[in-house]
Structure 1
Amino acid sequence: MSETRNITRRSALKFGVAAAASLPFSSSLFGRATAQEQVKFTLPWIPNGSSYWPMIGKEIGVFAKHNIDMSVARGFGSVAAAQAVASGQFDFGMVFAGGNFLAAARQLPIVVIATVYYDPIMGIALRADSPIKTPKDLEGKKLGTVPTSAESPFWPAFAKNAGIDMSKVSLVQVDSKVIERALIDKQVDATTAVGTSSIPLIAAMGERPRFLPWSRYGVELYAGQIVTRPEIVEKNPELCQKVVDSVLGCYAHTLREPQSSLELFAKVMPEVGLTRGGMESARIAQGLTQLATQRPEAIENSLGWSDLDKIPGMIDLIMEFGAPKDAVRPDPATLVTNRFVGNVKLTPEEWAKVKENTSEFAAYLGES
């Protein structure tokens, strides 16, 4: 499962490849370094409003505070990013839960050490004037999908939970580069989508989409998670703590200062500001991501907290709809831990401000 597109994807591709190629190799993770420890960190996809925050760690002084020197590279989808961490190409990564759980089901060495936000916002994208109001209204309509996208494997799960007769829906395979345009041009009636990618793109085309999130129908997965390998947790837990506190510290900064954080993002990745609609796309993606962070896990505990009671059900979802037949169900107890979270918290007043700042984005999802 790979993350879908962002408005900056084409212009940023050259940047991403160059950044990945220029990453320095990290020093030994298992020794006690007196200087800053070098860390290689991968994102799940091209940096965008839903994933950029580790890129501003140097600018806001978070990495220096924790005595690490983190190099951040773009990813090529969550499955590939999880594999890159498991293989040792990177020390840590921010990877969507689906990719992490699938990697574990393939018996790759990976462990989740924090959950950054709690809903990948998979769902159905619709035009504003669409007559489709409920999931059942999809029957008799054309539904566009990208078979290799993050959400596509879970369409049957949503259809089942929402009472949709899949035989009455015409599933149309669409190229990832044109799927939003296919919706706007009425080549299809609706599309499967990841909201943080498709909603900003559609908005950049001058349309205001509507969206039906699948999480309201029991298709629940966590979204961005910080991952590493079990051997690093075992041999260098101090570094794991530094990375979790640093990355969550970056994210907390974006929650408290969303606009200035986006400006820093454009500073470290100028392509964002140069691309038509790039900053607005990043702003919408960031707002939707911050909506998906306002959950009891983070508000009542701390940023990064995972509800361990929810993990088995998410693994079951992956095993039924996303994993190959030879996959082995991973052990939830060894796959996800809260050992390193708890240090980065927002006050009730700060959470209230986050809610206020994200209220406009809630409308895309039909929330008040």
Structure 2
Amino acid sequence: MIALSRRATFKRIAAATAAAIGLSLAALPAQAQTKIKFVLQWKFEGSQAWFFVAQDKGYFKAEGLDVSIDQGEGSAASIPKVASGAYDAGFGDLNAIIDMAAKRPADAPVGVYMLYNTPPFTLIVKKDSPIKTPKDLEGKTIGGPANDGALKLFPALAKIAKVDTSKVNITNMAPNLREQMLMRGQVDATFGYVNTVTFSAKAMGIDAAKDLRFIRYGDYGMDLYSNAVFFSRKFVQDNPKAVAGFVRALNRAIKDVLADPEMAMDAVMKREPLLKRDVEKDRLLSALRNDMSHPEVARIGLGDVDDKRLERSIEILVDANQLARTPTPAEVFNRSFLPARDQRPSKLF
């Protein structure tokens, strides 16, 4: 009876101890994930697929991140949103970051992964337009959304191409009216990105190859970088592991998209079912082919930049816009968060 009593006592003690441990563990908070508010350059579209894939496949979560993704209002518009603290990170024009770094270096975000390494900036005219070069824009009206990257860079193009900007009228319009106003003759030319305009026109039944002509900034010596993933300086300083994790997850998702574009389109259509899947798939493939396949990718890998090329880009912008100071490449792009060279794509097509 005594032995039985002791065994019962031990069982009660063991049960009580286990219960206490369970209560203690339950009282501990779950390991918190780092929240990242991320803003895109534009409305949901096919060429953003990697961000959605990283979210849907749990790549962000696996890095200890809770990432929310919002639509944007233009490639230049996402920069001040991050600089103001409204967002932690975004996707947008590196040239707008350079401009802010020259004017407000303490506030300017910093690029961490370059995606659009080929300059997409362009002026668009109708196929039969007498405008053949930027100089022909004198006396004409150009339209563009206020936050359009090509519009922001026009002073630089004008200086290189010797355009008298006092003779050029610039008007703003809603992005969805750009191609419509051009085709109706309400403006003589518009600003835009080649890929964006091509597919916006397609949605209107306009064949860009037959009906439009592109005057590309890159043909006038402006071999500039374009859209990159960037973070606020404060977030980079306070959460370097989270930044590295975000970049790893994104790089992983990009490789998945390259391997399976149809899977990528599933993620896009999940966000906006009213999109035309075939059009958005073409937009994605076009971005890979035309915006992200600069020859340097074979040498340095997707995600990185060439410091000398970036330095030349900075000099072009500083000179053309008469900026007060010249940021260094390291001020606008931080490669320390990139995965190793052999882990990043070196060929997209």
TM-score of the two chains, using structure 1 as the length reference: 0.72
Secondary structure of the structure 1 residue equivalent to 2:215? strand
2:63 partner letter: H
Shift of 1:180: 0.8
Q: Which among 245, 249, 272 is matched to residue 248 of structure 2?
A: 245
Shift of 1:34: 3.9
Shift of 1:304: 0.7
Find the counterpart in structure 2 of residue 16 from structure 1: none
Q: 1:135 touches 1:164 (CA, 8 Å); kept in 2?
A: no
Find the counterpart in structure 2 of residue 304 from structure 1: 303
Deviates more, 1:149-158 or 1:193-202: 149-158
Secondary structure of the structure 1 residue equivalent to 2:267? helix
The structure-2 alpha-carbon separation of the partners of 1:227 and 1:145, relative to structure 1 and needing over 3 Å to count, comes to: same
Query: Gaps spanning 5+ residues in structure 1: where?
Result: 1-32, 273-277, 356-368
Matches within 5 A, 1:1-368: 34-105=31-102, 106-107=104-105, 108-127=107-126, 129-130=127-128, 134-135=132-133, 138=136, 142-146=140-144, 148=146, 149-162=148-161, 171=169, 173-176=171-174, 177-209=176-208, 210-272=213-275, 278-290=276-288, 291-321=290-320, 328-343=325-340, 344-346=343-345, 351=347, 354-355=348-349
CA distance in 2, matches of 1:221, 1:263: 32
Shift of 1:156: 4.1
Secondary structure of the structure 2 residue equivalent to 1:75? coil
Q: 1:91 touches 1:228 (CA, 8 Å); kept in 2?
A: yes
1:138 partner letter: D
In our comparison, the structure showing a higher alpha carbon Rg is: 2
Find the counterpart in structure 1 of residue 5 from structure 2: none
Shift of 1:49: 3.0
The number of residue pairs the alignment matches comes to 309
Secondary structure of the structure 1 residue equivalent to 2:191? strand
Deviations 1:56-84 (A, max 9, x none): 32323322343322111122334442233
Q: 2:156 touches 2:321 (CA, 8 Å); kept in 1?
A: no
Shift of 1:47: 2.4
Q: Return the structure number with greater helix share.
A: 2
Shift of 1:163: 5.8
2:301 partner letter: S
CA distance in 2, matches of 1:337, 1:183: 39
Secondary structure of the structure 1 residue equivalent to 2:149? coil
Shift of 1:218: 1.3
1:204 partner letter: A
Shift of 1:159: 4.1
C-alpha RMSD of the superposition: 3.0
Q: 1:303 touches 1:341 (CA, 8 Å); kept in 2?
A: no
Shift of 1:286: 2.2
Percent identity between matched residues is 24
Q: 1:36 touches 1:67 (CA, 8 Å); kept in 2?
A: yes
Shift of 1:174: 5.0
Secondary structure of the structure 2 residue equivalent to 1:296? coil
The structure-2 alpha-carbon separation of the partners of 1:242 and 1:189, relative to structure 1 and needing over 3 Å to count, comes to: same
The structure-2 alpha-carbon separation of the partners of 1:197 and 1:59, relative to structure 1 and needing over 3 Å to count, comes to: same
